[in-house]
Chain A
Amino acid sequence: MLVAELKPYNETKSFIEKYQSILVVGCGGCTSLCNAGGLRETEALAAKLRRDTGVNIKSVTIERQCEDEFVIELSRMMEGVDAVLSLGCGAGVQLIAEQFINIPIYPALNTKFVGTSHDRRVFIERCRSCGECRLGSTAGICPITRCAKGLQNGPCGGSENGMCETGNGRECAWCLIIERMKAQGRLHELEAFCEPVQWPGQAPERFECGMGVK
């Protein structure tokens, strides 16, 4: 899932104060799961903005902001709306902007990373979408994402007690990889040289999916 967090309230307020009427749009997808942009957060933010500003504020939470079929549903609410405040991720914000090109849009969230949820409370970054998945050779732990230096061929000299020298409670990805490979009797596999990644996203990516496994 994509993990996002609410922007500081005053920043969000400053976006919309100059308008007469806005639509606050929540998302039932990833940002809902990380308690940033779902129905509950959307209604709470809309209520606070109503109280603190003179702006006329409507609110709605749609299924997912990253799918055109759900975004199109917003058409019926756009009459008289001067601007949109989105609680979707960066992708969602852009899709709404694309569907309603004459209406200014503002993000209420900062999109942070692709990660996992733990007790719906802690979120850990797991994937940098490199487009060349090598998790099979690193015991299911991504060093590009979880090593602070993105090292692909083994650890740097900076781990201590299994923790990364950059601190903040980060575990050393390579300590985890080596420990797990050892436990699986596969340590020798890490002797192989890992070639440089051919990074995708050098220009915006586009992709048409096929029909699954043939």
Chain B
Amino acid sequence: MTLKDKLLNGDFVVTGELGPPRGCDADVVRKKAAMLKGVVDAVNITDNQTAIVRMSSLAASVICLSEGVEPVMQMTVRDRNRIALQSDLLGASALGIQNILCLSGDHQSFGDQPGAKGVNDIDSIQLLYTARRICEEKKILHSDKPLTSAPELFIGAACNPFAEPTDFRPIQLKKKIDAGAHFIQTQTIYDIPAFREFMKRIVDMGLHEKAYILAGVMPLKSAMMASYLNDKVPGVIVPQQVIERLKGVPKERVADEGIEQSCEMINELRTIEGVHGIHIMAIEWEHRVKDIVERSGLDKRIHK
């Protein structure tokens, strides 16, 4: 069953992440895919994340497919105009990719090509609209001439519940769903009560019935990482008690403690109304995902 089928079936799903290498070695992708195979339901393949040049998301997605891992191809609007994006949507579908995630992308000034021209011909919500139009209406943007065949894509979007301005976030999520998102993956969550509040608004707006919402979890590798996320990454709030707990264990046990915390969070997130799955972001920690899934009991998630 595909990710889409499982969600349609009412299953609680788990997705992971795989960062393509800074090189052309397909084996790097194969090895990471092997760590996630059978552990998660689908794997996000990042698109030049942090604006650093890497193997393309499309290529790495195809490698994953050949390894029996279902990819969610991430697509940012930073590097491609609407011609290239639409062409890649068709091409990805022809190669067997069924899931895409539409993103604005990290700003080019953060990466290794700070002088690159940020394309941003369309924005991420316009990409959602474009993808839906291609799939449902069999038409590309601004053209009434039907395509000879149209893909059937499961279209995703990202959401950061805690980024400013926070009171606009539910409206923004509604815009994404109205534009074409079938599923949503959230930014990593550490502040469960704040996320509960956010989800209450989402449920009140009925959005949880219009799209599948997967709650983001990123295991903390150290107290330093926790402080960095809290201080430097906009829209990520790591409560002080989470950081203190990591500080309170001996060095060799910190990673384990981070995983334990992730498992506890997963078990809380599972109980929140409107949450249809968990998205585990463990880039360069792909080998620990199995541990997280098993220790949190997600491996026993029931396929109804």
Contact = CB atoms under 8 A, between A and B. Distances in A.
Interface string B188-220: 000000000000000000000000000000000
Given A150-B118, A193-B179, A196-B122, A155 B107 contact: no
Interface in B233-268: 234-235
Nearest to B164: A159
A177 B122 CA distance: 19
Q: Is the interface of A mostly helix, strand, loop or mixed?
A: loop
Nearest to B159: A157
Contacts of B175: 153-154, 191, 193
A165 B105 CA distance: 13
Name which of A153, A159, A199 has the most chain B CB atoms within 10 A of its CB: A153
A139 to B, nearest CB: 13
A160 B121 contact: no
Interface residues of B, number: 35
Contacts of A194: 125-126
Q: Give the interface size class of chain A.
A: 20 to 34
Nearest to A143: B123
Contacts of A196: 82, 121-122, 126, 130, 141-142
A191 B234 contact: no
A154 B175 CA distance: 9
B121 A157 contact: no
Nearest to B168: A178
A195 B128 CA distance: 11
Contacts of A201: none
B126 A153 contact: yes
Contact of A153 (B105, B107, B125): B125
A54 interface: no
